[in-house]
Amino acid sequence: MPENQNNNPEAGLPISSHRAGKVSKYKIEHYVAPLEETPLQAVDSVKAAGKPLSMWAEAWRSLRKQPLFIISGILILAVIVVAAFPHLFTSIDPTGKEACQLENSNEPGRAGHFMGFNLQGCDIYARVIFGTRASLMVGVMTTIVVIILGGAIGALAGFYGGWIDTVLARLGDIFFALPMILGAIIVMQLPAFRDNKSVWTVIVTLSIFGWPQLARITRGAVIEARNADFVKASRSLGLSKFKSLVRHVIPNSLAPIIVVATVNLGVYIVAEATLSFLGVGLPPDIMSWGNDIASAQTQLRTNPMMLMWPALFLSVTVLSFIMLGDAVRDALDPKARKGA
């Protein structure tokens, strides 16, 4: 063995031991902060006594923090108040005999009539305010009918399956293949509808072509929920199929139905305005935004404000319902929640 290696006490050590010996000469001090001085204690704290929130409670807590929901909710609430109490917003009754004066035909806005007058000399602002009721009523009532009809058909098809699902699904495909506006124009030309034009005929017509979409959404949600453990437990406890569907499956399938129905409400308002604009919707004696837009098309070049005001109210209302639907969808979708 070489002489220099014998004189060096560390020469015979392995390399790892040699390095470890050098490292051990230096002491590394670790500082750990007390738990009460860090935010970990507040983050990790759990309220064990607190009652767990349901899906709807968590969704409501999420909605209250969304500016999109607050803005759309305020706008929709304002539209509902205008439709329910139009006399609070204008002292002019456009349904009266002296409401329209021909000497005011196409007059611009002035004090007390800031929107001006239409071709018949009627106050545009009063007509827009009173026309809110018919347009909103068509949207709300059509949505309710579609939820009842499409929800029932979709729930039965998705829960029972078999030949019931086959028959109802093929029936929905037949109506789903027809465009809503085109189908509504054809139905509104039938003698029973053409001779009895009213708000309710438009509601029935739009409901005929509106339920298939919601039935498909409901069917998919019910198929997903029917195989859950709580449904199997209810069946094992002796609950009938129909009662299990009503008590457990449908309540746990409402989230996508509410989202689609909220967005479609604005679609039905636009559909009513489109039918009235084409002359097959509401009769001219019923004030609505669609009728006002239709009557203003002849004066588009000379008096464009006559068309702008009802179109503006229509656009803001429809946009409000679409914004509300987006906010509700984000709140009911667990993947869209922050921290999920």
What is the Cα–Cα distance from 255 to 225, expressed in whole angstroms?
12
What is the Cα–Cα distance from 256 to 27, expressed in whole angstroms?
62
For 51, the enclosing helix (H) or strand (E) is none
Task: Identify whether 48 is part of a domain.
Answer: no
Answer for the pair 294, 312: CB distance below 8 angstroms, yes or no. no
Query: What is the predicted pLDDT for the residue at 56?
Result: 73
Task: Identify whether 64 is part of a domain.
Answer: yes
Query: What is the predicted pLDDT for the residue at 130?
Result: 92
Residue 240: pLDDT above 70? yes
Task: Identify whether 1 is part of a domain.
Answer: no
**Domain limits at 317?**
57-336
Task: Identify whether 10 is part of a domain.
Answer: no
The CATH number for 225's domain is 1.10.3720.10
Query: What is the predicted pLDDT for the residue at 29?
Result: 66
Task: Identify whether 320 is part of a domain.
Answer: yes
Is this prediction's pTM over 0.85? no
Residue 131: alpha-carbon gap to chain centroid: 23
Residue, of 50 and 249, whose pLDDT is higher: 249
Express each pLDDT in 122-161 by its tens digit.
888 889 999 999 999 999 999 999 999 999 999 999 888 8
Residue 20: pLDDT above 60? no
What total of structural domains would you count in the chain?
1
pLDDT band (50, 70, 90) for residue 334: low
Residue 16: pLDDT above 60? no
3 state DSSP class of 123: strand
Task: Identify whether 32 is part of a domain.
Answer: no
Q: For residue 318, what are the CA distances in angstroms to 18, 139, 181, 296, 315? A: 78, 10, 17, 20, 5
Residue 125: alpha-carbon gap to chain centroid: 29
Task: Identify whether 50 is part of a domain.
Answer: no
10 Å Cβ neighbour count for 261?
Answer: 22
Task: Identify whether 31 is part of a domain.
Answer: no
Answer for the pair 154, 226: CB distance below 8 angstroms, yes or no. no
Mean pLDDT, the chain, integer: 81
Residue 318: pLDDT above 80? yes
Q: What is the DSSP string of 163-226?
A: HHHHHHHHHHHHHHTS-HHHHHHHHHTSHHHHTT-SHHHHHHHHHHHHHHHHHHHHHHHHHHHH
Q: How far apart are the first and last CA of the chain?
A: 68
